[in-house]
Chain A
Amino acid sequence: MAKKAVLVDLSKCIGCRGCQVACKQWNGLPMEKTINTGSHQNPPDLSAITYTVVRFKESVEGGNMAWTFFKDQCRHCLEPACAEFGNDNAEGSVLQHATGAVHYVTEKTKAWPEESPDAFCPYNVPRRCPEDKVWTKCTFCVDRISNGLEPACVKTCPTGTLMFGDRDQVLAEAQKRLTAMKKRFPAAKLIDADEVSWIYLLHQPAKMFQIARNLRFNETRYAKKGVGSSTVVTAGAGLGLLGLLAQRKEKVQKEEGE
């Protein structure tokens, strides 16, 4: 089966959160007991029973109000750090499906050590259930996509924010949309297109979105392997996520070369 991908075109997202509900429905996940904290964002974060959440951010730029919606979930990295981490600790606990889906064998994840998710995920996505200790996250609806269906959230999205297809087809569409979008949004850019299966197209600068940034990632995960350094972490923080990942890649390549 060909590698699959999803384009998340945030210029089209209206924050309706149909994706959150569709995800809960398909995966049979219970509701979270939430309260209104002064934001429409709810549940406030990802959790062991919430695989995707739309993060709302308000900002005022040059007197103009902006309100952005960032649908967050597992990016399904092509070289997932969590797979290394997980399988080091419990063999067979993370599977990489031919579609590109990074799949947790939840029972086996119970054996993972107590750890902050940002220790092994550059996007700070997986969550551990406090009761039964399993780790969970978005499954890429691997059961659906292996059977010719799009993921549940893609199916329900009313505006075309989410586009699912073969990876090369999605990448081509992403480039096409990026070019078109730059006319209205000069700062538009694609995020981590070469590294993940869930590719984000941001129409506005990254700082206008509420994106989980993982600064501990290098420090912990790659320090262990002798890759990271405090210099990189500092520089990475300044450059943002994209810069961080680019540097990570460069470092890895350098290591491998040596």
Chain B
Amino acid sequence: MTNHWCDIANSDCILIMGSNAAENHPISFKYVTEAIERGATLISCDPRFTRTSAKAHIYAPLRSGSDIAFLGGMTNYIIANNLYNREYVAEYTNGSFLVNEKFGFHDGLFTGYDKETGKYDKSTWTFQKDANGIPKQDKTLQNPRTVFQLLKKHFSRYNADLVSRITGTPKEKLLQVYKAYAATGKTGKAGTIMYAMGWTQHTVGTQNIRNMAINQLILGNMGMAGGGVNALRGESNVQGSTDHCLLWHILPGYLKTPRASLTTLEKYNDKFTPKTNDPNSANWWGNYPKYSVSLLKSLYGDNATKDNCFGYDYLPKVDDGANYSWITIFQDIFAGKIKGFFSWGQNPACSGPNADMTREALGKLDWMVSVNLWDTETSSFWRRPGADPKKIGTEVFCLPCAASMEKEGSITNSGRWMQWRYKGADPPGDARPDAEIINGLYVKLKALYEKEGGAFPEQVTKMTWDYEHEGKVCAHMIAKEVNGYFLKDVEVKGKPFKKGDLVPSFAYLLDDGSTSSGNWLYCNSYTGKGNMAARRDNKDTSGIGLYSNWSWCWPVNRRILYNRASVDLNGQPWDKAQPVIRWDPKAKDGAGGWVGDVPDGGWPPINLDKGATKWPFIMKPDGVASVFGPGRAEGPFPEHYEPLECPTVNLLSSQQLNPAVKRWDKEGSEMDKYANVCDPRYPIVATTYRVSEHWQTGAMTRHTPWLCELEPQMFVEMSKELGRMKGIQNGETVIVISARSQIKAVAMVTERFKPFKIGDQIVHQIGLPWCFGFMGIATGDSANKLAPNIGDANTMIPESKAFMVDVRKEV
């Protein structure tokens, strides 16, 4: 979240789309409810009428996989009706930048597409530069080559009639949503978006979010209280695990995983340190080498020296162009390329797409270690229904671990708040905290490498590893290492520090090896003042619910990101009633300064000092937000493409599928099968979702009797119209079939699903919870048996939210 949970209460209009917050993030409704009581409008867009929709002022149905058409229609509506914040677009975004004359778009493709490789040459996705190398601009936004004019042209095709034919949303509902949301473009108003996996799990997932981010930017909603782009994370600590590099392509603090071709630290830093010629751009990532060197010092300590690139050589490198995300890993396991697998706190046999293939793949491993609270579908894949254990050679080790309340440590919630938690009870039996398991593994592995050697042992043996206190792993020692230390006596920015001092914030990190930080984003979380995450002052002095002394928030306790965009060029808030920050000329003994939230840098407002000011989006090299975003794989603007499996041809262009996605039907396993476009065997759109009562694959909740009684069985929700057509009564058991597998489920025939009119045809949709499996108290078939292995073009997140099936009565 750019904002945070409590801040939702400040919103004037809340759009919940790609999320079912009432069911899957019930606590968020404390703040949604508060906002409604203060006069906010709640909009729910979902293929199915949910418990979220039940609370909404406006409910608009849309077919799964048509979000960009819906959101692009909103972009068009905002611009066509002149409802955008012109000053914000011109000053705080790249809307005024002039784009390369050779850049263009035709029939669903941007310039530079290579059909052979399925990739774009992005050399035209650039800006025109002046003699100083700064992007040329037209702040009147009139030049036809401005980003704004290109945006306007691009989305002018997304008229409400056509959007309605693609999404199935009745036109009047579309316009109702657009009107209500676009009203937040008015100065002093703010709208927020709450989204989750309903947006990400698509072949166009990244661009779904890009499109809404663009809408938020042109409405001037970024940086505002009650605004922002807010991803609702599916677990209490998903944000924390991402910050600390759960994913393969990043190191802690969103530093990049080194590529094989980047053979030296210098090359690595050079590649990932963005440059700018604009003196008014803070270009914060320009500090990259300070963060990468401090990370290396935390990893390799005294073994990291200037002479050995601070241990850069020890870091694992990935092959250039390779991808090691979920789908690839399981393809490689299936193909026998990966022989051992740690399944840690996860349940791939239920959570991964094409679950039959995933389960088959697990049987090709030599060994698997499952670290979990329970015996899950993954640890017991070898005795799943239909499997013959005698034919499966995988050796499975189960390591029981402690639950979150059975250990001390921090979690970072969706709102980026790092909150310290204390141990409530000892774990049962021999269950151990994850850190103890990792520590034990490390000690053993290090001893083995020291004794026996092996391929490249230094990356393990040279590592600093000092987390034990009185025989136990100490969470505080880890948290302090994450924050970082001064490693020698040094003076930084006029302040003297002693060796062993905790670094007060990332502004003091250095690239010469005299500081360490396990994660620069968390530098400031555990300082000489103590453990900031353990703060529990629940007084709010901000008036907008920042609660700045409760826990700690990255970065540097800034509660609302991009908050210098919440003020006008004079530093005064757009929203006078709910200011996030404000320039006070009397502050700092008359020198002037920002009051309110921790600002995105202390530089003066634009109109006050044009020399000293810095543009507000400090993480972007140009200092402004990217309406034109050339970093993405499939285009600098979002464009509607149909899901891989879909019930219609693309009504917007002849480009059916996201042109930059990787298909697995040709180079994947033999179990990767796709339905054709408009395949008569699979005429019904399917989506998956969670329920309030079960968490993720249900590994925890389906072992909890009180939750099993609430949602005891696998079900499929469908419209009464579909039920009639298929002769299916409410409560009957039915079969749902995709190109990959079939499952059994109880039919819930309901008014809450309605058929869609797509183009000139009627299209039906069903919905399936993905929380079931064959272990536990409440069991049932896994919805992910049906979902395909195909990923988003940027992130490779599987397209579990839109695929095609058929439904029939169980005979």
Contacts and interface: CB of A to CB of B under 8 A. Distances in A.
Interface residues of B, number: 38
Contact of B752 (A21, A67, A68): A67
B587 interface: no
Interface string B696-740: 000000000111111111010000000000000011000000000
A1 interface: no
A39 B731 CA distance: 8
Contacts of B37: 180
Given A14-B22, A14-B23, A36 B709 contact: no
B91 to A, nearest CB: 38
B33 interface: yes
A71 B15 CA distance: 27
B339 interface: no
Question: Which of A30, A68, A159 counts the most chain B CB atoms within 10 A?
Answer: A159
Given A36-B713, A42-B709, A65-B59, A159 B30 contact: yes
Contacts of B51: 14-16, 67, 69
Interface string B27-52: 10110010001000000000001011
Interface string B340-358: 0000000000000000000
Interface in A214-249: none
A29 to B, nearest CB: 8
Given A14-B55, A67-B53, A36 B748 contact: yes
A66 B54 contact: yes
B543 interface: no
Contact of A21 (B30, B33, B707): B707
Contacts of B23: 14, 16
Given A18-B26, A67-B53, A58 B751 contact: yes
Contacts, number: 98
A72 to B, nearest CB: 15
B625 interface: no
Given A65-B53, A67-B53, A160-B33, A38 B692 contact: no
Contacts of A186: none
A67 B691 CA distance: 16
A60 B747 CA distance: 20
Interface in A4-55: 12, 14-18, 20-21, 24-25, 30-40, 42-43
A14 B706 contact: no
B111 interface: no
B711 A42 contact: yes
Contact of B731 (A24, A34, A38): A38
B30 A65 contact: no
A35 B713 contact: yes
A21 B730 CA distance: 26
A34 B49 contact: no
A65 B27 CA distance: 24
Contacts of B707: 21
Contacts of B55: 14
Contacts of A40: 691, 711, 748
A69 B22 contact: no
B648 interface: no
A21 B710 contact: yes
Given A16-B23, A16-B26, A58-B750, A24 B706 contact: yes
B749 interface: yes
Contacts of B751: 58-60, 65
A14 B693 contact: no
Contacts of A160: 30, 33
A158 interface: yes
A130 to B, nearest CB: 18
Q: Is the interface of B mostly helix, strand, loop or mixed?
A: mixed
B665 to A, nearest CB: 34
A59 B705 CA distance: 31
Contacts of B26: 14, 16, 18, 158-159
B544 interface: no
A159 B29 contact: yes
Contacts of B705: 30-31
A35 B53 CA distance: 25
B262 interface: no
B6 interface: no
A15 B54 contact: yes
A142 to B, nearest CB: 21
Nearest to A21: B706
A180 B730 CA distance: 39
Given A14-B29, A42-B709, A36 B54 contact: no
B746 interface: yes
Given A31-B706, A31-B708, A69 B730 contact: no
B22 A16 contact: yes
B183 to A, nearest CB: 18
A160 B9 CA distance: 14
Contact of A25 (B706, B712, B715, B748): B706
Contacts of B710: 17, 20-21, 34, 42
A66 B27 CA distance: 22
B35 to A, nearest CB: 12
Contacts of B752: 58, 65, 67
Given A16-B51, A30-B705, A36 B731 contact: yes
Contacts of A17: 692-693, 710
B46 to A, nearest CB: 11
A30 B705 CA distance: 8
B746 A38 contact: yes
A159 B712 contact: no
Contacts of A37: 731
Question: Which of B29, B49, B691, B715 counts the most chain A CB atoms within 10 A?
Answer: B29
B706 A36 contact: no
A36 B746 contact: yes
A65 B59 CA distance: 9
Contacts of A67: 49, 51, 53-54, 752
A69 B692 contact: no
A58 B717 CA distance: 14
Interface string B48-77: 010111110001000000000000000000
A67 B51 CA distance: 7
Contact of B30 (A34, A39, A69, A158): A158
A38 B709 contact: no
Given A14-B54, A20-B710, A43-B709, A38 B30 contact: no
Contacts of A18: 26
Contacts of A16: 22-23, 26, 51, 692
A94 to B, nearest CB: 28
A38 B29 contact: no
Interface string A121-149: 00000000000000000000000000000
Given A18-B26, A66-B54, A159-B29, A39 B709 contact: no
A60 B752 CA distance: 10
A75 B553 CA distance: 43
Nearest to A181: B37
Contacts of B53: 65, 67
A78 B708 CA distance: 35
B53 to A, nearest CB: 7
A158 B34 CA distance: 12
For the complex of A and B, the 9 pairs showing the least CB-CB separation, nearest first, are A38-B731, A31-B705, A38-B730, A36-B713, A67-B54, A14-B22, A31-B709, A16-B26, A36-B746
Given A21-B710, A34-B712, A36-B713, 7 more contacts: A17-B710, A35-B713, A38-B748, A39-B748, A67-B49, A68-B54, A158-B29
19 contacts: A12-B33, A14-B29, A14-B55, A16-B22, A16-B51, A16-B692, A21-B707, A31-B709, A36-B712, A36-B748, A40-B711, A58-B751, A58-B752, A67-B49, A67-B51, A68-B54, A158-B26, A159-B26, A159-B30
Interface of A: 12, 14-18, 20-21, 24-25, 30-40, 42-43, 58-60, 65-69, 158-160, 180
